Amino acid sequence: MRGRRGIRAACFSGILLLGIAMVLFFGTQKQGFHEDELYSYYSSNRTAGLFTPDNTWVDTAEITAEFTVLPAERFRYGLVHTVQSWDVHPPLYYDLLHTACSLTPGLFSKWQGIAVNLAAYIAVFFLLFLILRECRLSFRLRALFLLVWAVHPLTVSAAMFIRMYLWLTVWVLACLLLHLRLLRGMTKLRMAGVMAVNFLGFLTHYYYVIWLFFTALTVCVFWFLQKTEDTEATEMSTRLMRILRYGLCQAVSLAACVLIYPACLRHILRGYRGQEAVGAFFSVGDWGRRIAFFGGLLNDYLFSGTLPVFLFLFIVLALAGGRRDRRFKLSTILVAVPAGGYFLVVSETALLLGNTSNRYLMPVDPLFLLLFISAGDYLLTRFLSGLKTMGGEPTKKSLFVNRIVRATLRFLYAGLLLFIVARGLFAEDHVLFLYPENRAAVGTARANRDIPAIVLYNEETPDNIWRLYDKLSCFPRLYFVNAAGEEPVPADALPDSEDWYVFAADTADNADRDRRLSELMRLGSGHGTKEFVMRDAMWTWYRLR
């Protein structure tokens, strides 16, 4: 028994180490940042805020100070919370990122954010391990699922995306695990755990409430309908009291979040993202398009085009009458209903941002994957059970052949799943948030750091220069010009150079931007051409020659 446990522990440890190696490998491939990732650093580590004067040179060190933790600014969580109160997100993830940056003061690196995500990756692995054990899945199926999850393109993408979504996954899975255990009996310790997870999940992302709602609804319906040999549990008044105690604990945990972070109410009820989400949710005519969009993301990135197969397998799992394990059935329901509810609500409220919208589904991706793999394995097991009973009285030869066939089919099933994952990793480029094209842009900026660089900003959104930080930080100084400003750029303000770089922000109709670009071209020494370098978010990078 000890030997078997040792082998299993070594197997799971090997899977975890392989997954960590994959995260580190793709971390080396990450060459740029999504604009929201740069905002993570800016809003976690800012000193005084980005200011954009008109017709003035600014040392890049002043901008770098807004993205790094200065030695005298370490562990300033009060400022982190204040900055987040101005935005639309809760502060816990930014506290974690600020901690990582405080441990490495003066440094701006992708590895700070990846390290924070790697801690979440390891936590998710162990939570999934415990959930699989709670669901009474076999060692073989647990190992297969964890292997597929550990190296799946969306898992690696979640670790690459320096935002809060992988940590939201931690709290979603922790909530699921605790509720699976609550089905075996409500104890004070388990309810205290649920309350603590609610607190942490809500302060990581407000989408946690969606998951909690459907999880709580499922558990309460089960308790309401529950019939056991325990007379006390079957009495209606007792069941209702249990649901009431449970609901009260949930309400207290969420109220504690509001007391600790009162800005959350403004974010949800009056913040621009809250209003956008409510508007999208009640746009009934848009539901079909939104569900098709997010369903398409699941099909392409999670199932690599096999979503119809998943739906078929899940229907088989839901309708199967052969497996009578009550605990397994309840576990499946508690996974499927909240995951499905979360998908539907998020599909109606999240932003439609192309493949980067995968971020919103990341917390439930492991659960859809679990249902997919479990359903396929169940169907295969039923088929093999039928195969075993065919052919009349078994002989040594038939038993041997049967074992070979069973092993071969299971091997092929695992191989097919891993092939789908490998294709997504390397052939279909489904690992997101790497931005390999940014390597050339940053290389160009570094190689030409002596060329004068001008930031032509939009006065309506002046601090949006944080979107360009990785390029702007390559230049020692930057000359700021207000695109809508009327004061002309002084003739002697810019050095006489054959080339100038201009980072031009979009304006309302781009008329101001184009007017200022023409003015700069007239100032230059023989600048007769405007050469496009690249487009980045709301900015266009030009080279004036």
Question: Which range among 47-61, 165-179, 216-230, 401-415 has the greatest average pLDDT?
Answer: 165-179
Residue 195 φ/ψ, nearest 5 degrees: -65, -40
| DSSP per-residue string spanning 409-468 | HHHHHHHHHHHHHHIIIIIS----S--TTHHHHHHHHHHTTTS-EEEEE-TTSGGGGGGG
CA pair distance 474, 478, nearest whole angstrom:
10
Which residues face 103 on adjacent strands?
none
Distances (CA, A) of 217 to 213, 223, 265, 337, 447: 6, 10, 23, 9, 58
Query: Can you tell me the mean pLDDT for 490-504?
Result: 86
| Coil/strand/helix, residue 345 | helix
Which of 91-105, 312-326, 413-427, 454-468 shows the lowest mean pLDDT across its residues?
312-326
Binned at pLDDT 50, 70 and 90, residue 273 comes out as: low
Binned at pLDDT 50, 70 and 90, residue 93 comes out as: very high
pLDDT at 286: 76
Binned at pLDDT 50, 70 and 90, residue 520 comes out as: confident
Cβ-based neighbours of 128, under 8 Å, separated by 6 or more: 145, 146, 149, 173, 366, 370
Q: Which amino acid is at 449?
A: R
pLDDT at 274: 56
- pLDDT per residue over 63-72, tens digit each? 999 999 999 9
pLDDT at 166: 97
Torsion, Cα of 225, 229, 232, 234 (10° steps): 20
Of the two residues 396 and 89, the one the predictor is more confident about is 89
Binned at pLDDT 50, 70 and 90, residue 103 comes out as: very high
- pLDDT per residue over 344-403, tens digit each? 999 988 888 899 999 999 999 999 999 888 888 877 777 766 655 555 565 666 566 667
Query: Can you tell me the mean pLDDT for 313-333?
Result: 65
Query: Can you tell me the mean pLDDT for 426-446?
Result: 90
Binned at pLDDT 50, 70 and 90, residue 5 comes out as: confident
Cβ-based neighbours of 411, under 8 Å, separated by 6 or more: none
H or E element at residue 179:
helix 165-182
Q: Is beta strand 500-505 parallel, antiparallel or unpaired with respect to 453-457?
A: parallel
Of the two residues 73 and 413, the one the predictor is more confident about is 73
pLDDT at 536 over 90: no
Binned at pLDDT 50, 70 and 90, residue 212 comes out as: very high
Closest CA to 39 of 79, 94, 76: 94
- pLDDT per residue over 17-65, tens digit each? 999 999 999 999 999 999 999 999 999 998 888 888 888 999 999 999 9
Question: Which range among 156-170, 381-395, 473-487 has the greatest average pLDDT?
Answer: 156-170
Cβ-based neighbours of 408, under 8 Å, separated by 6 or more: none
pLDDT at 395: 60
pLDDT at 423 over 70: yes
Q: Taking all residues of the chain, what is their mean pLDDT, rounded to a whole number?
A: 86
Binned at pLDDT 50, 70 and 90, residue 320 comes out as: low
Q: Which amino acid is at 447?
A: A
Q: What does the domain layout of the chain look like in residue ranges? A: 438-544
Of the two residues 278 and 347, the one the predictor is more confident about is 347
Which of 13-17, 161-165, 362-366, 483-487 shows the lowest mean pLDDT across its residues?
483-487
H or E element at residue 518:
helix 511-523
pLDDT at 538 over 60: yes
Binned at pLDDT 50, 70 and 90, residue 322 comes out as: very low
| DSSP per-residue string spanning 29-72 | H-----HHHHHHHHHHH-SS-----SSEEEEHHHHHTTTS--GG
pLDDT at 266: 86
pLDDT at 139 over 80: yes
Query: Can you tell me the mean pLDDT for 258-284?
Result: 70
CA pair distance 336, 303, nearest whole angstrom:
16
Percent with pLDDT over 90 in the chain: 52
Question: Which range among 110-114, 307-311, 435-439, 489-493 has the greatest average pLDDT?
Answer: 110-114
CB 133 within 8 A of CB 204: no
pLDDT at 473 over 50: yes
Query: Can you tell me the mean pLDDT for 298-327?
Result: 72
pLDDT at 89 over 70: yes
CA atoms within 13 A on the CB side of 536: 28
CA atoms within 13 A on the CB side of 385: 8
Which of 193-207, 221-235, 406-420, 448-462 shows the lowest mean pLDDT across its residues?
221-235
Query: Can you tell me the mean pLDDT for 466-476?
Result: 91
Neighbours of 462 (CB within 10 A): 18
